[in-house]
Structure 1
Amino acid sequence: METRRRSVLKAVIWNAIGLATMALVGLVATGSMALGGKMAVVNAALGLSMYVVYERIWAGVRWGRIHG
């Protein structure tokens, strides 16, 4: 099992990558850096929240782990 701190750090790093990617996609899709940036921020906030919850749920699942 990993600590909450590790789960959160992983989520923050993953969302930084997603934020940059979504900003680029938003810019290409809309032609506007401002609108693309807003889309990216909303996506990152939702994604971060959901990823932390997802990781914490999986941290408690024993299935598929090798104990040794």
Structure 2
Amino acid sequence: MLVLYSGRKNEFEADEFAFKLGYGHGLTATLDIIAQHPPAHGLWKALYSTHPDTNDRIGKLQILGVEYSRY
């Protein structure tokens, strides 16, 4: 459980770093695409399950200041 928490925390930190570099909107758009098409099985599903919820990541990026709407 601690490893999963640590990995998820690292993802949020990486997202914040990408935002600071100016990639917040692009990352949010990509995460939105991923959220609409989650992997069904196999390696990608295993990797996906170790990351924070995609919508939570988008929400945190919006808190940082990314103006994003999928519509």
Return the structure number with greater helix share: 1
TM-score normalised by structure 2 residue count? 0.33
Query: Greater Rg, structure 1 or structure 2?
Result: 1
The structure showing larger relative contact order (alpha-carbon pairs under 8 Å, at least 6 residues apart) is 2
